[in-house]
Amino acid sequence: MRRIRGPGLPGGLALELRALLRLAWPMVLAQLLQAGLGFIDTVMVGRVGAVDLAVVGVGSSLWILVYLGALGMLLSISPIAAHHVGAGAHARLRQLYQQGLWYAVAVALLAFVVVRHIAAVAHWMAVDPRVLPRLDEYMDAISWGLPAACLAMVPRFLAEGSGHVKPMMVILALLLPLNVLGNYALVYGHFGFPALGAVGAAWSTALGLWAGAFAIHGWIFATGKFPDIRPGIVWARPEAGRVLELLRLGLPISVSMVMETSLFVVVAVLMGTLGAVPLAAHQIAINYASLMFMVPVGLSLAITVRVGQALGAGDRHAARFRGRVGIAVSGIFMAVSALVILVFPDRITALYTRDAPVAELAVVLLGLAALFQFFDGLQVAAIGALRGYRDTTLPMLLCLVSYWLCGLPLSWAATFVFELGPHGLWLGLVAGLVLAAALLNLRFERISRPVSPPV
126-177 per-position pLDDT tens digit: 566 777 788 889 999 999 999 999 999 999 999 999 999 999 999 999 999 9
Residue 50: per-residue pLDDT: 73
- Tell which residue, 23, 56, 228, has the closest CA to residue 138: 56
Separation CA 415–CA 426 (nearest Å): 9
Q: pTM (2 decimals)?
A: 0.88
Q: What is the pLDDT of residues 307-326, one digit of tens each?
A: 999 999 999 999 999 999 99
For residue 224, the Cα-to-chain-centroid distance in whole angstroms is: 29
Contact 242, 99 (CB under 8 A): yes
Mean pLDDT per 10-residue interval, the chain, length 455 residues:
46 88 93 86 80 79 90 95 91 92 96 89 67 86 96 95 93 94 95 92 96 95 85 78 94 92 80 76 82 92 95 94 96 95 91 83 89 92 96 95 93 89 86 95 94 51
Contacts of 27 (CB under 8 A, 6+ apart): 160, 165, 169, 298, 299, 301, 302
Give one DSSP letter per residue of 136-189, joined into a string.
HHHHHHHHTTHHHHHHHHHHHHHHHHTT--HHHHHHHHHHHHHHHHHHHHHTTT
What single-letter amino acid sits at 125? M
The chain-wide mean pLDDT, for the chain, equals: 88
Question: Of 35, 345, 325, nearest to 172 (Cα)?
Answer: 35
- For residue 18, the tally of other CB atoms under 10 A from its CB is 11
Q: What is the pLDDT of residue 6?
A: 47
